[in-house]
Amino acid sequence: MSFERIAPEQYDSIPEVPEPVEHAELFGHVGEADELARAYRTGKFHHALILSGPRGIGKATFAFRLAHHLLANPRPAEAPSTLVRPDPASTLFRLMAQGAHPSLLHLTRPAADRGAGFKSAVTVDEIRRVGRFLSMTSHDGGYRVVIVDAADDMNRNAANALLKSLEEPPPRTLFLLVVHSIGRMLPTIRSRCQLLKLKPLAGDDLLAALRAVSPGSEEVPDDLAAKASGSVREALLMTQFGGLDIANAVDAVVSGGRFDVAAAYRIADAVGGRDSTVQFRLFNEHVAGIAEARAQAAGQAGDAELAARLADQWSGVRQRIVDTDTYNLDKRQHVVGLLGQLCAAR
């Protein structure tokens, strides 16, 4: 039976794969989930949480599971001390999945003003919805939950607008900020939130999650598990959209002794076509990950000058990705240019 999506499509949706809000299961992160459940039960709950960690490890799923826990248990003292698995057939679960629950606001990149696709950032207009949302009275006196996914996709104006809401939060309000790269968050936002660092999934959890969201998935090869780095999203893209071959090809070009222009154009042909939207996105994510890893490695090695230079390159890579998407630039030239840039900086 084919998958039927009931949640609104997002900028990073994967065909035939449920959105995080549609997941009843949470794989990994058990200790962190139970700690928050106990904090809620005992009245020691922070009003804003940053869920930080690599892309695709279940941060958004974690956020929606925690939101479900609060909405299903409006009286904290009577709430379970663990996050109980929700019933996918329940009214609460389905309202959340459809984006129709009055006490839950999910903010992400909005649809583009013209044509198909989505904007390249979480905009200030999206964040302004928070004020209107919080001005309404909770329908049952319980919590209202705002999820920003991903918060490091906010532009500067949006981040400043969110900061105002975090500074004076109404009672019984929870902000959940899903963050892939904590370094991109304003320090003033970070200082007003409790930081929760979620780790990549272990092998067993990764395999279980992969099978849950993509029934029939075969055993994960060793090289895929390593390439996916504990990310279900990466594993899915690699197994279903040729992402492992793309990652291997990119790594071969970037780590080679010289810039192989012919190989770069072969990659560009594979990911730059009209019907290769997912492959192009995977290429961009992998290249950005390489640039980020280089900057972090230099910083950890204590080479401040190199770390600063590589951090600038990482920022440039991200901006180039945004510009290509925003202005609909030539994808093949984008691919070759990024690969040449990474090779020149090694």
pLDDT in tens, 42-76: 999 999 999 999 999 999 999 999 999 999 999 99
Name which of 174, 89, 165, 98 is nearest 130 in CA terms: 165
> Residue range 299-324: average pLDDT?
90
CB-facing half-sphere around the CA of 52: CA atoms within 13 A? 15
Share above pLDDT 90 across residues of the chain, in percent, rounded to a whole number: 64
Tell me, what amino acid is at 329? L
- Return left, alpha or beta for 216; rule: phi > 0 is left, psi -120 to 50 is alpha, else beta: left
Q: Please state which CATH number belongs to domain 20-197.
A: 3.40.50.300
**Cα–Cα distances in Å, from 316 out to 89, 96, 120, 292, 322?**
45, 37, 15, 11, 10
Q: Is the peptide bond before 307 cis (omega within 30 degrees of 0)?
A: no
Where does the pLDDT of residue 158 fall: very low under 50, low under 70, confident under 90, or very high at 90 and above?
very high
Where does the pLDDT of residue 224 fall: very low under 50, low under 70, confident under 90, or very high at 90 and above?
low
Q: Which residues contact 153 (CB under 8 A, 6 or more apart)?
A: 108, 109, 121, 122
pTM (2 d.p.)? 0.83
Question: 111 exposed, middle or buried (CB, 10 Å; 0-12, 13-18, 19+)?
Answer: middle
Contact 196, 32 (CB under 8 A): yes
246-290 pLDDT per residue, tens: 988 999 999 988 999 999 999 999 999 988 988 998 899 889 989
The token duo for 94 is 């389905």
Domain ranges of the chain: 20-197, 241-345
Report the distance separating Cα 246 and Cα 279, nearest Å: 8
Contact 280, 331 (CB under 8 A): yes
Give the pLDDT confidence score for residue 240 in this predicted structure.
Answer: 80
177 strand-pairing partners? 50, 148
Report the distance separating Cα 123 and Cα 172, nearest Å: 25
Contact 134, 165 (CB under 8 A): yes
User: Where do we find the tokens 């959890």?
Assistant: 205
